[in-house]
Structure 1
Amino acid sequence: MTAMGSECLIGWSRLRCSNISLPQYTLLLQQVSAHNALQENRSQVSAMPVEIERKFLLANDSWRSVVVKSSRLRDGLLAFYDGRKIRIRFYDDKATLTVKGPRKGLARHEFEYAIPASDGLVLLEQHCKGEVVEKTRHHVLVGDQQWMIDEYHGLLDGVILAEVELAREDTHVHLPDWIAKEVTGVEKYRKINLVKARKKKMAHAARQAKRRSKDLAHKPMA
């Protein structure tokens, strides 16, 4: 048995209580592997790379029982202008530089290139505007479609969003029972706006706490 075959059997054995079959599990591992290879160096792809995705809120946590792969991601924004952005990202210990164009409908151009981890770390820590966003990306297979559930940590702790990448905008998407409202294109759920909203909430809480502390300091003793 190959190392890949052993990994499939070991991983699937942990999910035997779920509805995912061994063939489905093996297929998803192959899809994830191919996706990661593409993300590592899209410059080798001759066709114009286009990202087509839909985004959803989660209805419950039942998706956790069918997760087959998870990666730790760290994102930093290097530049943003008129819907275009340049991002540095770490997939576990691998760094990538991504350029995204403005969205048209569900689609946008996306160019992602692998860069040395040492370069990525300098860019992430010294040249990113705003906060570095951390999350765990969980991969789930629904039929023949791969879903990615992003569970945020740190500044955006508690935010969980699901995405499904599509080959075409009109591709039919089977929605599992753990999916709730679709938020594709909703400004509130763009990462940059989630960060702004959380910072605003934290600043407001800090002002309220300072005001309460000041009021207590001036309150006469009984």
Structure 2
Amino acid sequence: MTGNEQTTPSLVIFDCDGVLVDSEPLSLACLTAGLNRIGVDIDLDTVRNRFAGTSMVSIMGHIERDYGIAAPAGFVDEVKAETLATFDRELQAMRGVAEAIRSLDLPVCVASSSDPVRLRHSLTLTGLLPLFSGNVFSSAQVARGKPFPDLFLFAAAQMGAEPTSCLVIEDSVPGVTAAVAAGMRVIGFTGGGHWGHDPGGADLSRAGAASIFSDYSNLSKVITS
């Protein structure tokens, strides 16, 4: 990419969970409790390290392959229902994110591993949905979720943007990996509650994030840096 393309993206693509809404501590806790109930010996830190930013389809495939436990009928729907109920009680938008997005004079959209119901539920609960004018894309719309590039490429195509002119805001290694594979510049966000273990975002940098930030008051600055 040229320097101009780096400083002036034609589209900013936001992940949702852990980027727009502080959902990961809630959803990962629900997932861990659910997996423990069906006999998977796994703790919260392992779930966070292995599965943050990935879809339930991918997660359950890993569980069956690595732990030899197939989810019983209805398990995924049960965990999703528990997660949404927890969101209703506790979910918050990231501090300052709404103001930061409103201040951008750039097209924006969302591209998330969450299923469409959870995705819109989260954005509606936190009042963020109107900021994206319906431009909200889910991994359910593509063949392969993150860490594959399909979702980001799909979002760019829907928005009429060239991948090389897009900037992605991500909080997970699979998400950063997907953005890099799509040929997009990616910035890592570590302001979510699940990033206490690595506030500097070393894992995201190793995966290919161009820079790291944790405070949305700095969004305009990091986008053009």
Q: TM-score, normalised by structure 1?
A: 0.31
Instruction: Decide which structure has greater helix share.
Output: 2
Instruction: Decide which structure has greater strand share.
Output: 1
Q: TM-score, normalised by structure 2?
A: 0.31
